[in-house]
Structure 1
Amino acid sequence: MTITQLQQDFIAYAASIGVDKIGFTTAAPFMELKNRLRRQQELNFQSGFEESDVELRTEPTKLLPQAESIVSIALAYPSRMDNAPIGKKGERRGIFCRASWGVDYHVAVRERLTKLEAWLQERVPNVQIRSMVDTGELVDRAVAERAGIGWSAKNCSVITPEFGSYVYLGELITNIPFAPSTPIEEECGDCRLCIDVCPTGALIEGGQLDSKRCIAFLTQTKTMLPDEFRTKIGNRLYGCDTCQTVCPKNKRKHNDWHEEFTPDPELAKPLLEPLLHISNKEFKAKFGHVSGSWRGKKPIQRNAILALAHFKEEAAMPALVELLKKDERPVIRGTAAWAIGKIGADGAEEVLLQAKEKEADEQVVAEIEKGLQLLR
């Protein structure tokens, strides 16, 4: 079988197992990306979740010495939720971003990549393969851009003509010299909606992201959320879709044919107050299969407290007071103290003053003081 025929058959097989788009590029170094990543490090724009070694992120042959090409795949996911529950006073709800609807995309993309690996191994003796999804060394978006999946947009997402930016990406490095695909020309033009509406100003001109200001990153942190961001996250429990939902290229893009990504409305938009006292076991059983659970329940609970403060939900006061008095985690106690002050219900000052007398953690005391300042 010729390489050309193998590639054609491979493309057809990928489609048959639910890969929505596939592209190919060489294993040449990503030199422009290398310069950009080094600049990001200089500016301290990295989140800390990514691979720190720029060489590994930009030179495929350091990951697979005999690499000849890289295969990029994309799976489309939905942008709308049917029968979405509506929060109301006394029953406020939070929201997980679209990339956390349905089954964890790492699992879904990995399943496809595993099948693609097996298909090649059956047909090519001594084939060498290394694949990865999101948490690997390579930058998925850079690979996808060079492989013709889409263009790298100002919102730092890859936008495909067919599915918008609502796609999960994965890649497979191999020693098979597949013919490279043609990259897609950038179509953002003069549009800068995503930059203008980013809640925290995380998007920088030229398609650069200050990850530490991005709400998608901030909702995953486990520490006390910096003051300037507390009123910015709204009712977001995990992730942020603002720069995608305002994008004109995403208009009328829904992509709802993968049943595994169809959201359960009660999980994608859960009630906030029950999250405050959910156990580790209950959290894992309920949310363990979605990507937004990977950092555990603590960030979700902290964000739920901030969301209740955002709504000024007085009905949540008893639960927040309980956390302030009894929770073992300083971040949760402190965030609850701030939220109590932000909500400003009757009796809030007395609660905070009593807590201050008994609190031994300096960080929590500082948050109690912030709560008292909000009341005054």
Structure 2
Amino acid sequence: MDFNQLKQELFDYCEEINVQKVGIASTDTFDTLKQRLVTQQAFNYQSGFEKGTVEERTTPTKLLPKAQSIISIALAYPSKMKDAPKSKKGDRRGIFARASWGKDYHDVLREKLNLIGEFLEEKVEGAQFKAMVDTGELHDRAVAERAGIGFVGKNCNLITDEYGSWVYLGELITNIPFEPDEPIEEGCGDCNICVDKCPTGALVQGGQLNASRCIAYQTLTKDFLPDEYRTKIGNRIYGCDTCQVVCPKNKGVDFHLHPEMEPDPELAKPKLEPLLTISNREFKEQFGYMSGSWRGKKPIQRNAIIALAHYKEVESVDTLIHLMKKDPRPVIRGTAAWAIGKIGREDAKQVLEKAKLHEQDEDVLVEIDKGLDFLKVHTTT
């Protein structure tokens, strides 16, 4: 079989099914990535969401023993929201990161990869595949970089010439011996804007991320948010786009090529207060198709409370008081108490002191005291 011809047919087919970029990577061990992952482990820079061992994440043949090449694809997603609603006093809104706008990108990419697999199965007898999107063992960005899709920038995102870093990535390990493409040598040069602008210093150096300090990671956690991040989170309720927004390579880049990726403004930038009392069923019905829903409603609600405190939204205090008194989850009760003190309505001191008499959870009591400490500051300044 002429695999060069098949490769061209594959690329043509990818264009037909609306894949923006496709490239081929070799199945050699990702040695540079391996060293970086070892360093991450040594410094405890991992998020805990990574799948597989270092060997599995850097050795494709560990995942498909007869692997001979890796097909890497990229789909461009929007960076700007049309008709975005305004956040205003008495009607404050949060924001989901762009990677959660529209239909869950994992599903969109898997559909494309499945189509590619079916296409090649018709062409090659005995074809084998293993598809991965984000949650697989392989490092999507390292594969895409090797395949010539783009280069990994100092913000740890893959950056393409045409679409900036606003791309979703996926790959298909296969036993078909496609000729690899050439990696792109372009880089960030002297630009260090993303490192300088990271809200928490999570980009410890260009291309090295301390995932546990990243706002995007912190919005996913389910426990109390550490105090140092509460002042940084702003109105983010899922994810963080700062290191992409400030990147010069993304200036003016905004593509709307996939209708299923278009955000519903009321969901991508939702009203905060209704999130505080939404039921599990309502949350799944409204947000379940978005990638930002995968951790459930609890982190979203906690982040929404912090966002209301960020806005000092007095109109929401009655709802926060109800949560502090009635919610069965200590994280929500405690965060609500903290927010009541942060907002500082006239009756806040009385409300918090009364709650302190009835609260049994030690962690919640600590948060009540934090709220009361805010009020002491208010009265002395």
- Normalized against structure 2, the TM-score is what? 0.98
**Partner of residue 130, structure 2:** 130
1:317 aligns with 2:342: no
Q: How does 1:1-376 map to 2 (within 5 A)?
A: 1-376=1-376
> 1 CA distance for matches of 2:147 and 2:82?
33
Bigger CA drift: 254-263 or 163-172?
Answer: 254-263
1:122 positional shift: 1.0
> 2 CA distance for matches of 1:214 and 1:329?
25
Over 6 Å off, 4+ runs: none
SS in 1 for 2:173: strand
Bigger CA drift: 48-57 or 141-150?
Answer: 48-57
SS in 1 for 2:345: coil
> 2 CA distance for matches of 1:149 and 1:52?
24
> 2 CA distance for matches of 1:146 and 1:296?
35
Contact 1:341 1:372 survives alignment (8 Å): yes
Bigger CA drift: 138-147 or 183-192?
Answer: 183-192
Spell out, residue by residue over 1:152-175, the C-alpha distance to the aligned partner (whole angstroms, 9 max, x if none).
100000000010000000000011
1:346 positional shift: 0.9
Bigger CA drift: 262-271 or 180-189?
Answer: 180-189
> 1 CA distance for matches of 2:344 and 2:95?
24
> 2 CA distance for matches of 1:240 and 1:184?
27
| Equivalent AA in structure 2 for residue 337 of structure 1 | A
> 2 CA distance for matches of 1:349 and 1:16?
63
> 2 CA distance for matches of 1:144 and 1:329?
42
Contact 1:23 1:181 survives alignment (8 Å): yes
1:186 positional shift: 2.7
1:15 positional shift: 1.1
Contact 1:153 1:186 survives alignment (8 Å): no
| Equivalent AA in structure 2 for residue 276 of structure 1 | L
> 2 CA distance for matches of 1:288 and 1:195?
33
Spell out, residue by residue over 1:263-301, the C-alpha distance to the aligned partner (whole angstroms, 9 max, x if none).
111011100000000000000000000000000000000
> 2 CA distance for matches of 1:195 and 1:137?
26
> 1 CA distance for matches of 2:85 and 2:372?
34
> 2 CA distance for matches of 1:143 and 1:116?
17
> 2 CA distance for matches of 1:319 and 1:16?
51
1:185 positional shift: 1.4
- The number of aligned residues is 376
Contact 1:152 1:186 survives alignment (8 Å): no
Contact 1:131 1:171 survives alignment (8 Å): yes
Contact 2:195 2:206 survives alignment (8 Å): no
SS in 2 for 1:73: strand
> 1 CA distance for matches of 2:121 and 2:375?
66
Spell out, residue by residue over 1:50-106, the C-alpha distance to the aligned partner (whole angstroms, 9 max, x if none).
125100000000000011111100000000011100010000000000000000000
SS in 2 for 1:103: coil
Spell out, residue by residue over 1:8-57, the C-alpha distance to the aligned partner (whole angstroms, 9 max, x if none).
00111111111110010111100110010010000000000012510000
SS in 1 for 2:48: coil
| Equivalent AA in structure 1 for residue 80 of structure 2 | R
> 1 CA distance for matches of 2:348 and 2:72?
54
SS in 2 for 1:220: coil
| Equivalent AA in structure 2 for residue 139 of structure 1 | H
| Equivalent AA in structure 2 for residue 315 of structure 1 | E
Spell out, residue by residue over 1:110-160, the C-alpha distance to the aligned partner (whole angstroms, 9 max, x if none).
000010111111111111111110000000000001000100100000000
| Equivalent AA in structure 1 for residue 89 of structure 2 | K
| Equivalent AA in structure 1 for residue 183 of structure 2 | P
> 2 CA distance for matches of 1:282 and 1:212?
30
Contact 1:57 1:137 survives alignment (8 Å): yes
> 2 CA distance for matches of 1:42 and 1:79?
35
1:205 positional shift: 1.2
Identity %, equivalent residues: 64
Spell out, residue by residue over 1:198-234, the C-alpha distance to the aligned partner (whole angstroms, 9 max, x if none).
0010002131000000011000110100010001000
- Normalized against structure 1, the TM-score is what? 0.99
1:187 positional shift: 2.6
